[in-house]
């Protein structure tokens, strides 16, 4: 009888799901290795976004990533007795999901470059550049993306102080010369230069914050998708336990 079959016969510790929030990763591993599926579910919820983003960076497909994530969790569940208490759980899980994602690519016949491989520099050749689309504008998503970026920039321009906004509109958007903008607004050329410089700095700061926030939210994995993966893994665990019973 396998380890997990034995665990299935033990009564699960009576722990409310909310109470598991305060448990550390090593504590959750200990509970999950002892057969507590609620503890393993908490492990999945705690690390779902990290592992989804990791696998997504390799597979570039949400559906393939979710499948890989479930398989990776199943591998991790089976290997819980081998987890060393002095290791960091997130690092251990990332290695598992990376191996699963790369394995999927290999099984599809894709040429997989090891993550530790050196990336060619410009001096070493244009291999890296050749792997990128020759013209990003040819991508079907580019029009919608440009429209979204344009709306974001327009919204940021609207937030500029009045004096800066008008100068920026003439110089940055309409591409008037300093002399033309100064003449149109009836202000010194030096004022046009200083206000345009300040307006551009404010825009860059604002857009940089927007980008930082957007990056932090990129490929988020929560809510229904998170629940679906957790439920799917728990169901696979239950089937594996059932099949291993004598």
Residue 110 has pLDDT above 60, yes or no: yes
Evaluate whether 93 touches 48 at the Cβ level (below 8 Å).
Answer: no
Q: What is the pLDDT of residues 93-108, one digit of tens each?
A: 998 999 899 899 888 8
Could you tell me the pTM of the whole model? Answer: 0.66
- Of 50, 47, 45, 51, residue with least CA distance to 17: 45
pLDDT digits (tens, 9 = 90+) for 154-200: 888 888 887 788 888 888 888 889 998 888 888 899 999 999 999 99
The angle formed by the CA atoms of residues 217, 218 and 224, to the nearest 5 degrees, is 80
Calculate the alpha carbon distances from 191 to 147, 175, 198 in Å: 32, 16, 10
25-76: pLDDT as tens digits:
999 999 999 999 999 999 999 999 889 998 998 888 889 999 999 999 999 9
Distance of alpha carbon 196 from alpha carbon 172, whole angstroms = 8
Q: 3, 101, 19, 23: which is closest to 59 by C-alpha?
A: 101
Contact 240, 4 (CB under 8 A): yes
């Amino acid at each position: 009888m396998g380890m997990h079959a034995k665990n299935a016969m033990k009564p699960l510790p009576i722990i409310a799901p909310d109470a598991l929030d305060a448990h550390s990763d090593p504590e959750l591993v200990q509970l999950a290795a002892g057969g507590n599926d609620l503890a393993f579910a908490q492990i999945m919820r705690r690390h779902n976004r990290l592992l989804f983003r990791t696998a997504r960076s390799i597979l570039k497909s949400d559906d393939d990533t979710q499948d890989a994530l479930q398989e990776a969790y199943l591998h991790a569940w089976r290997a819980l007795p081998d987890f060393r208490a002095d290791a960091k759980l997130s690092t251990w899980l990332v290695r598992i999901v990376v191996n699963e994602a790369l394995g999927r690519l290999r099984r599809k016949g894709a040429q997989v470059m090891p993550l530790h491989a050196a990336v060619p520099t410009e001096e070493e050749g244009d291999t890296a550049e050749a792997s990128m689309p020759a013209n990003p504008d040819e991508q079907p998503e580019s029009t919608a993306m440009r429209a979204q970026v344009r709306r974001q920039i327009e919204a940021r321009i609207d937030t500029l102080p009045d004096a800066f906004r008008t100068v920026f509109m003439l110089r940055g958007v309409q591409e008037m010369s300093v002399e033309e903008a100064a003449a149109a607004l009836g202000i010194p050329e030096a004022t046009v230069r200083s206000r345009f410089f300040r307006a551009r700095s404010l825009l860059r700061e604002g857009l940089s914050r927007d980008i930082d926030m957007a990056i932090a939210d990129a490929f988020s994995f929560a809510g229904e998708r998170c629940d679906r993966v957790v439920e799917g893994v728990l169901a696979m665990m239950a089937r594996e336990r059932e099949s291993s019973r004598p």
